[in-house]
């Protein structure tokens, strides 16, 4: 083999690895956005807690976790005070990276599903609304759109 062929093979392997990694990250971001959209529709239409819990998904996250996908690549920026603005409820996440935030989101989703299944008659509305707020925060962070009261009013 010539040196050019060897260099091209190395480049091609790296490009394929990067494309696969990029697709994995996009799939996780899409699943998070889909869960956010579902929660918004479910809360506005008054779906039952069981229906909400059953509608939340985490299969892409689990598959990508088994593959060893790095979650930090979704957005390399840490949460800052400027990002959260007036929303002091998210101050505990200042300085946190995406892997922590994404794992936290999926941990909350799995926990909610288990709690609703274990105690279907208990009121889990507060947990559901908190998950919705957290997903709004996380998706905004992944898309690098700082939180503001104006944008919150526009989305309602």
| pTM for the full predicted model | 0.80
Please report, for the chain, the start and end positions of each structural domain, with discontinuous segments joined by +.
24-155
3-state secondary structure 87-156: CHHHHHHCCCCHHHHHHHHHHHHHHHHHHHHHCCCCCCHHHHHHHHHHHHHHHHHHCCCCCCHHHHHHHC
Query: For 2-59, what is each residue's pLDDT tens digit?
Result: 766 666 566 556 655 555 556 667 888 899 999 999 999 999 999 999 999 999 999 9
């Amino acid at each position: 083999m010539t040196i050019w062929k060897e260099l091209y093979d190395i480049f091609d392997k790296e490009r394929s690895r990067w494309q696969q990694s990029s697709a994995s990250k996009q799939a996780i971001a899409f699943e998070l956005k889909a869960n956010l959209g579902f929660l918004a529709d479910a809360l506005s239409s008054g779906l039952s807690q069981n229906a909400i819990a059953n509608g939340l998904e985490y299969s892409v996250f689990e598959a990508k976790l088994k593959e060893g996908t790095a979650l930090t690549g979704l957005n390399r920026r840490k949460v800052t005070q400027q990002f959260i603005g007036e929303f002091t409820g998210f101050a505990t996440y200042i300085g946190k990276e995406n892997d922590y935030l994404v794992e936290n989101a999926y941990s909350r989703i799995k926990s909610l599903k288990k709690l609703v299944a274990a105690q279907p008659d208990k009121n889990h509305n507060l947990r559901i609304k908190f998950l919705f707020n957290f997903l709004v925060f996380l998706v905004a962070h992944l898309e690098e759109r700082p939180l503001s009261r104006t944008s919150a009013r526009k989305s309602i």
